[in-house]
Amino acid sequence: MQVTFLGTSSGVPTRARNVSAVALRLPQRSEMWLFDCGEGTQHQFLRSDLRLSQLRRVFITHMHGDHVFGLPGLLASLGLAGNSNEGIDLYGPDPLESFLKGALANSSTRIGYPLEVHRVRPAAEQGSVVFEDADLIVRCTPLTHRVPAYAYRVEQKPLAGRFDIDQARALEIPPGPVYAQLKRGETVTLSDGRTIDGTTLCGPERPGVSVVYCTDTVFSEAAVELARGADLLIHESTFAHAESEMAFQKQHSTSTMAAQTAAEAGVGQLVLTHLSPRYVPGNSVTPNDLLQEAQAIFPNTVLAKDFLSLEVKPRCNSS
Query: The domain that contains 138 carries what CATH number?
Result: 3.60.15.10
318 belongs to a structural domain: no
CA distance 24 to 26: 6
Is there a single domain that holds both residue 81 and residue 101? Answer: yes
319 belongs to a structural domain: no
Is there a single domain that holds both residue 99 and residue 183? Answer: no
Domains of the chain: total:
2
CA 115 to chain centre: 20
As a dihedral over the C-alpha atoms of residue 257, residue 259, residue 261, residue 262, rounded to 10 degrees, the angle is 170
Is there a single domain that holds both residue 50 and residue 192? Answer: no
Is there a single domain that holds both residue 94 and residue 151? Answer: yes
Domain-ending residue, one of 201, 228, 261: 201
Is there a single domain that holds both residue 9 and residue 54? Answer: yes
- Count of alpha carbons within 13 angstroms of residue 283, beta-carbon side: 12
98 belongs to a structural domain: yes
pLDDT tens across the length of the chain (319 residues): 999 999 999 999 999 999 999 999 998 788 999 999 999 999 999 999 999 999 999 999 999 999 999 999 999 999 887 766 789 999 999 999 999 999 999 999 989 899 999 999 999 999 999 999 999 999 999 999 999 999 999 999 987 778 888 888 899 898 888 888 888 778 999 988 999 998 888 888 888 999 999 999 999 999 999 999 999 999 999 999 999 999 999 999 999 999 999 999 999 999 999 999 999 888 899 999 999 999 999 999 999 999 999 999 887 543 3
269 belongs to a structural domain: yes
Domain-ending residue, one of 178, 201, 224: 201
Is there a single domain that holds both residue 59 and residue 115? Answer: yes
Domain-ending residue, one of 201, 221, 256: 201
Is there a single domain that holds both residue 104 and residue 55? Answer: yes
Q: Which listed residue (36, 49, 66, 89) is catalytic? A: 66
pTM, two decimals, is: 0.89
As a dihedral over the C-alpha atoms of residue 309, residue 50, residue 90, residue 149, rounded to 10 degrees, the angle is 30
316 belongs to a structural domain: no
Identify whether 306 is a catalytic site residue. Answer: no
Q: Which domain holds residue 53?
A: 2-159+206-311
317 belongs to a structural domain: no
Is there a single domain that holds both residue 121 and residue 183? Answer: no
CA distance 176 to 174: 7
Is there a single domain that holds both residue 10 and residue 141? Answer: yes
The values of phi and psi at residue 201, to 5°, are -105, 5
Is there a single domain that holds both residue 97 and residue 33? Answer: yes
Is there a single domain that holds both residue 181 and residue 244? Answer: no
69 belongs to a structural domain: yes
148 belongs to a structural domain: yes
Is there a single domain that holds both residue 149 and residue 236? Answer: yes
